[in-house]
Amino acid sequence: TSGINFDKFDHIAVKVTGENPPKPIVSFDTAGLRKYVLDNITKSGYKKPTPIQKHAIPIIMNGRDLMGCAQTGSGKTATFLLPIINILLQEPKELIVTNTCAQPQVIIISPTRELTLQIFNEARKFAYGSILKIAVAYGGTAVRYQGDNISKGCHILVATPGRLIDFVNRRRVSFESTRFVVLDEADRMLDLGFMPDVEKVMEHSTMVQSGERQTLMFSATFPEDIQQLAGRFLKDYLFVAVGIVGG
């Protein structure tokens, strides 16, 4: 929301660790994003990138795995959505549905229905007017409508872990074409006991597609158990921490 004072983030220290990090961007128009995406950024009222966006957008654009830690409200959603949408539009791949089983190219996992809907709505906003199809799946509501919608095919699926596994078991979703896996709010996912479901997703997508998948993890804190998960799920990754990251 435009009421947030993003300038307050400018003075926060940023730590980047890992091999060969790309240079941070100073503005959205120097990020190498297509005009289409830039126009949707402008329409969203974003004037300049937040610190996590400055450092992490070029990392994702460069095809690297990422562990991004930054406080709530610091713009982590756009950090992964903008480069992913840009890459999907840059290298369009056919939308695949086999026997009503969709093969999304992007799986975004988030711990709650509310956060899942927020990400879904941001994704629709940034992809507005493009060919990209975005679907959503969360629990506490009938499977039918969500399932019918997913079965039409989607480039991006935003889901809570339990409902995602449910759709995988019902053969409505498979990971054969998945190029990106995003784990948002990893620390909350852990606290809520969702890691077994997340691990199932990671196993599925690793078995099918080990070499090409790009995995991005985000968290507000970086405790020991999240560090371990990052080590297991990510390969040759860069770690970006904005401010003091509790652990």
Which residues sit at the interface with Mg ion, rule CB under 5 A?
76
Torsion from C-alpha of 44, 48, 52, 54, nearest 10 degrees: 120
Q: Which of residues 38-57 bind ligand ADP (CB under 6 A)?
A: 46, 49-50, 53
Binder of ligand ADP out of 58, 66, 74, 245 (CB under 6 A): 74
Q: Kindly state the smallest distance separating residue 35's Cβ from ligand ADP, in Å.
A: 18
Q: How many residues bind ligand ADP (CB under 6 A)?
A: 15
Residue 71 gets which letter from DSSP? Answer: -
CB contact set of 203 (below 8 Å; sequence gap of 6+): none
Q: Are 60 and 210 in contact, with CB atoms under 8 Å apart? A: no
> Which of residues 28 and 233 has its CB atom nearest to ligand ADP in the complex?
28
**CA dihedral for 214, 21, 218, 4, sign (positive or negative):** negative
Residue 1, interface with ligand ADP (CB under 6 A)? yes
Give which of 199, 175, 210 is closest to 102, Cα–Cα. 175
CA–CA dist 239, 217 (Å, integer): 10
Among 55, 64, 76, 204, binds ligand ADP (CB under 6 A): 76
Nearer CB in complex with Mg ion: 76/204:
76
Who contacts 116 (Cβ-Cβ below 8 Å, separation ≥6)? 110, 136, 137, 138, 158, 159, 160
The stretch among 67-75, 136-144, 197-205, 238-246 that binds ligand ADP (CB under 6 A) is: 67-75
Q: Does 75 bind ligand ADP (CB under 6 A)?
A: yes
Q: Does 77 bind ligand ADP (CB under 6 A)?
A: yes
Beta bridge partners of 216: 66, 182
Which of ligand ADP, Mg ion, none does 49 bind, CB closer than 5 to 8 A by kind? ligand ADP
Residues of the shown chain interacting with ligand ADP in the complex, contacts defined by CB under 6 A = 1, 4, 6, 46, 49-50, 53, 70, 72-78
